Every structure is written in C-alpha cells, then in structure tokens.
Amino acid sequence: MIKSLLVFVLVSLAFVLFETSILTNLLFLPSVPDLLLLCSLYVSVNNGKLYGASSGFISGFFLDFLSVSPFGLNCLLRTIIGYVAGIFSKSLNIVGFFIPAFLGILATLVKALLIWFISIFFVNSVNSYNLLSVQFLFELGANAILTPFVFKFLGIFDKMLLLEPGEIK
C-alpha cells in the first residue's frame, strides 16, 4: 500500500501542477477541468474506501496548498468523494467510455453540492457554484469527456497504483 500511495502522490502532484500552472492560464477556457478529482476517482474506484479517502485527502491537500480556497476545503470535499467512490470498488466496469464519463459527471455534481452545503455555513469564505452557469456546465462537460481518457492514461500505471488483492481496502 505504501508503494502505491507514493506513486499516487507523484501522479497527483504532476496533475495538480499541470492543472494549476498550465490549464488556469489558458484564457479561452471558461473554467478548468478538475483532473485531480478524476485521478482520485480512478484510484478510489479501483482500490476501495480507505485508499479512496486517503487519495482524496492527499489530492485535496495539494490543491489547497496551491489555490486560494480556504485551507482544508478541498481536503474535506475530496476525502468524502474518494470514500464514496471507494464504496463501489471493483464493482464497476470502468474500461469503456460511458461508465467513466458518468462517474466524472457524478463526482463533479457531488463536489458542487458539497460546496453549496458548506457555503451555507461559511457564507463569506466559500463561494458555491451556480449550477446553470457557463463555467460549471463547461467543467461538468469537460470532466465527463476527459474522465475516460484520464482513466485510460492512469491504466498505464496500474501495476504501481492499484493494490494487490490481499492488501487493506
């Protein structure tokens, strides 16, 4: 588990750097696709609840460190999403296009709903999504389209990212 977690840390660090340094500077994008969420979703669905929560926390920590959101917000959101996605470990066929795309849509919607719920309690510090805005719909569509490709890319690292059958899940 330690080896796969270290590989996930390196992969998620590469994704977060790509997302925060390159994708945020592309002026023609209305919003940035959440590649780090998709990466965490992949390892959560393949490795289980414990690993999903751990990977969500790690990816959220990296994003909190490099973004202007309140510190801990992304850790909380991604830990919850990783845990919930880990419930479906090894029960979904994520090889095709439609199931991963549907998972990307669900994860993005859950993220938006969790941010909305948290913004009720922290009105001044957390901005929620407008679910009918161009920015949110673009992120939703981009995550849906990119999820199968991110899953296929991360499939290259299956031997290093996925846990062995007897390890803790």
Residue 141: is its pLDDT beyond 90? yes
Token pair listed for 103: 């998972």
Q: What band does 149 get if pLDDT is binned at 50, 70 and 90?
A: very high
Contacts by residues 106-109 (CB-CB < 8 Å, ≥ 24 positions apart): 107/37, 107/38, 107/41, 107/81, 107/143, 108/34, 108/37, 108/139, 108/140, 108/143, 108/144, 109/140
Greater pLDDT, 24 or 74: 74
Over residues 1-13, the pLDDT tens digits come to 778 888 888 999 9
Whole-prediction pTM: 0.89
Give the CATH class of 2-161. Answer: mainly alpha
Over residues 70-109, the pLDDT tens digits come to 888 999 999 999 999 999 887 888 888 999 999 999 999 9
**Average pLDDT across the chain, whole number:** 88
Name 53's Cβ contacts closer than 8 Å, sequence gap at least 6.
79, 82, 83, 86
* Residues 86 and 45: beta-carbon distance below 8 Å: yes
Residue-level pLDDT at 164: 67
Give the residue-averaged pLDDT of 137-160.
Answer: 92
Q: What is the DSSP string of 103-142?
A: HHHHHHHHHHHHHHHHHHH-TTT-PPP-TTSHHHHHHHHH
